[in-house]
Structures are given as structure tokens and as C-alpha cells.
Structure 1
């Protein structure tokens, strides 16, 4: 079984972790120079497919011509897995769902479903975009919204988006109200190391951040911390799940992802908050 990856050079540390655990035989990105990875690097996708004969190509980064490269893989009989929605996709693509392999998500969901936590009231997520540019910021906010929807077990019908930029650094804020009335605030910032979660329920609070070890739980019985041991990246479980089950993840990029991208572009153009129907 052979796997190939497509990833921006900023994801080299992640690529190295995945290559140490899985049979990854090639790395592709539409750039002219080797990004410094130990994997065989290709700037031409057909050349990589011919040289490695992969079963799966996992796209970890978005870029303008992604939809054409996905089509090239599918035409060659190579299964495709994408970390986010595919712009201009003309067919369903297995995408998203990485958060299901995250220990943070699993622990937060477990505590969220504890009867003592009661109904959620407020959720705030902060994440850093892993690469510069609008499309990586878009993928990041899509992943945050999927995380929020699965954690709350509900999805808002509408969201408000605010966006600003400095060069190729983007900051995105999404606010929404879930059908239950819970308030949602999602933030994507240019600093890759950012990761924060705060979930307020009628019976307690769940919080975590990259600056602390573990998840803090506060309720009527006091406050305690659930330790967080060193864990592999969520992308590893995501890829293994795809390979073992032989089926695409349950989450698919649809009109919601495209609507968010259009909303981000409108917010940049107008420099005003915009309403997006999902």
C-alpha cells in the first residue's frame, strides 16, 4: 500500500510525523523547489503518480489549482482524501473530519455529554492557520465549524463572518447561534501555534489551550485538570481510518464550504461583517 501527500512546506513537521508512521512514498506541491522534506519531492503531480503508483493521495493544503489535481488523481484511479473543501469541485470529494482523530475533541465531547454538564451555552474556538493565504484561512474556519458542529451536535443555519488581512496573513472571526440558542465564536489567526477551546454549559466549563497541559473542567464539584499526554497528530488517525475502512470519511465538502469561501471574499471586499447562509 502506497500513500502520497500534497502539502505546503509549512507543514514539513507534520509530513515528517506522518512519514514515520505510514508508507508515504512521495510529496507533491506545485512549487519549483524542494521544500526540504526527506521524502521524494515532486512539483509535477502526474510524474509523482507514475513514479509511486499510490493507492491514496492525501491533500493537506489548499491552493488555486487543487480541483484540477484532484481530478487528475481520480482519473488515474487514485483515491483522494482532502483536509478541507475543494474549490470548484464538480463531484463529491472525501474531505474533512480530521478533528475526529483529535484527543482534545474526544475528551471535550466526552465531558460535554456528561449529564452534569447540562446544555451548552457558549463555545469559543481559536486556531492558527498553518499556512499563509486566504485558502488556508478558509480551510481553518471550515475545520473549526465542523469541530463546533460535532461537539454541540448541531449546526447553525447562518453565520456572520469578519475578515481582515495584512499581506498574506489573514484573521477570520465567525459568530453564530446554534438552533438550541448556544452562542458560537470561532477565530482563525495567522499564528500557527494558537489553539484554544472554551465551552460553557449550564453545569460547568470545559477549557483547553496550547499554553496549558490537559483540559480544565469546572463544575459544581470544583475544578480539576484532565492530563494530556503526548499524542500523535490527528491527521495520522484520519489517514489510518480511511485506509482501514476503505471508505471515505462521513463528512463531505458541500455548499456550506463554498458559501464560507464566498463570504470571506465578500467580507474582505466590503470590510464589513457579512451574513452567510449554510
Structure 2
């Protein structure tokens, strides 16, 4: 029997991060004024595949099998070499000739809001049947209990790329791997579609994870719950769990904390709340998602 693993499908990027300490930055920008701040920046690997992989390796012994793509440029080499230096496998990270690696600029404001500038449909993503066949050979050496699929992979998916995603879902399901979709990007309904569209694109999946704001646009909840964030999260988690098996709903709870409701087969099985101040927002949703998959015994 192979070692426990989780297939991680999503994008990889080079992220430029900065945090603005001054509280009136947004006001000055809204007034049309330039803002110059000495706050420094940080260069890090990012992307949905990496943020989930980081959280997975930090909390479990499960081996992440990353299926993604980078360009044939210096940023792409930086991403592959760094991931390899951590001891993780890079065989599933395809280098695409003639394409630049995705770059994301992220700015954090004093009240924890984020401005994220990144390529959406034009971002580099896995789309080759040859790449998938090679990756499945790697998978044969492991026991992938779960397949984590970033919704970014569905943004603009059609033709060969959509067929690769459908083939991947089918292959992993045939191996007994639970296929879970992360409902990103944040404007999921506008960029990808309704949940019925997801079902049409992918076929049967075993769970979804999403933020409350995203799910409010996809699933109706009773008006009586509109003023209670926690109750609304639990209700939507139950609805999603009844539909897919696993339903996970995440949301900020005021300015200082972040919560997560987890439901299996229509029943809430876990509620978790965490301070934003302790760890910050970057990767927080992924950290909680790993907890959810663990609670659901998907990992």
C-alpha cells in the first residue's frame, strides 16, 4: 500500500506582498491623492495550490501531489526550485514553453482588507493530456484519499483544459479519492457560474469549501438568518453537505476573528473560530480547510 497523499490542483505564482500601516490610506486614495509609504515588500511563492500545500504539510503527514504549471522563465524556476528544496515532489509541476509564470500583487490594509491583483482567465494553468498522464503515473505510487481542486482551475475552462479536469476527476474518483472543490475566485458566480454549472463541468464531486459571501450568491438561505453570521454559515454548510457529502463554509466574524462550519451529509460536525490577529489572513482559509478535511476523515 502506498503512502497517504492528497492531490492538489491549482495555480502557482510569485507573490509580491506589502502591508500598509497607515489607517487613512484608503481615504486618501478615494480622494484621488497619491500615497507614498515606506513599508517594504516581500516576495513569496503563492497561488491556490501552494497555499493549500503549505497548510497540508504544516498540519498533517499527508504527501501533497501538486498538479500545476509555471512558465519557462526565472520566476517559474524560482517556484519549482523552492518547492523542491522543501522536499516536496515537483514532477506534477509542468513548465510551459513561451508562457510567463503567474505574478500576483497583494496589498494588506490596516483593517485586514486585501487588494489582490492577478491574472484571472489569462493565468497559467495545467491543460495538457500528456501532463495529466504523466502525473497519474506518479499518483500510482501513493494512496490519494483526497483530491483538492481549486476553483481557479475552472475559471475560463473549456476545450482541452476542461476535458483534462473532467478526466482528472474521473481518474481520482475511480481510485476512491474524495474530490473537493474550493469555491474560488471570490466572484465565483460571475467567473465560473452557479453550482449547477459546476456539476455540469466536472460531474460528481464529494464536497465544496467556500466563503460565506460567495455562497450567499449561490445558495438561498432563510431571511430569518440574515442577521446571524454563524447560524447562516451552519445552515449553508448543511445544505452543501446534503448536496455533495461535505459542506464547508468560512467567513470573517467581525474584524478580529474568522470562523468555519463543517457539515457531513447535511449535519454540522464541527465549528471552529480563530483570531485573525494571531496569524493574519494569508492562507487562513486553507489552514481551516485542512482542519475540515481532517474532521470529515477525508484525509
> TM-score, normalization: structure 2?
0.38
Which structure would you say has the larger RCO, counting Cα contacts within 8 Å and 6 or more residues apart?
1
> TM-score, normalization: structure 1?
0.40
